[in-house]
Chains A and B, each alone.
Chain A
């Protein structure tokens, strides 16, 4: 299976702290994306990193990718209560094909 697996499954931090979530996958990929999902809501695309990239930033988000270890991390700096959500990684092999989602990390940011 190519599906990503996030770690930890649940994370609880104080507002202002940094949150780090990890994703591991099994097969070679073309790209990896991180998504956010508020409870009962849709999926919001956060950031995409291609297999030839090692790090990418978007606002308070920093994503790293280590293809040798088949892993990625998502760092949210200076977390806010509004960051409370589930975060999923999704891996893609080819540009037209499906993405494989992991089980997600449930992040709770305590005000």
Chain B
């Protein structure tokens, strides 16, 4: 069964450093998303991406965040200058035309120290 693949599974970074979280969506999917989940809290929407541009973003997705689909297969989330409060599990998701086809990756656990 097709999967959304996220790497790395766990990343530890120093506060103020830049991090790039990588995702390989399902190959024929058209819509891409990033969500995050701070430990013990609900899953929060960050951004959606369609047709090579951001279609929607939340208040969390400020100027420190950016997304890119550099080569038609990878979908990345960059945090320019990490803060302690960015520590969370980050989930990538993708889907095709059908809403039922929404698939999440296993997540990247980001720890900012």
A-B residue pairs in contact (CB < 8 Å), sample of 28:
A3-B42, A35-B104, A40-B89, A40-B109, A41-B106, A42-B104, A42-B106, A43-B43, A43-B91, A43-B107, A44-B104, A45-B102, A45-B104, A48-B100, A90-B43, A95-B99, A96-B50, A96-B55, A97-B48, A97-B56, A98-B45, A98-B58, A99-B45, A99-B102, A101-B35, A102-B42, A103-B42, A104-B42
Count of chain A to chain B residue pairs whose CB atoms are closer than 8 Å in the complex: 54
Q: Which of A35, A98, A99, A100 has most chain B Cβ within 10 Å?
A: A98
Complex Cα–Cα for A97 and B104 (A): 15
The range of chain A's interface size is 20 to 34
Q: How far is the CA of A43 from the CA of B44 in the complex (A)?
A: 13
Interface residue from B43, B93, B105 paired with A88 (Cβ < 8 Å): B43
Bound CA span A48–B101, Å: 10
Interface residues of B (CB under 8 A from A): 31, 33, 35, 41-45, 48, 50, 55-56, 58, 89, 91, 93, 99-100, 102-107, 109
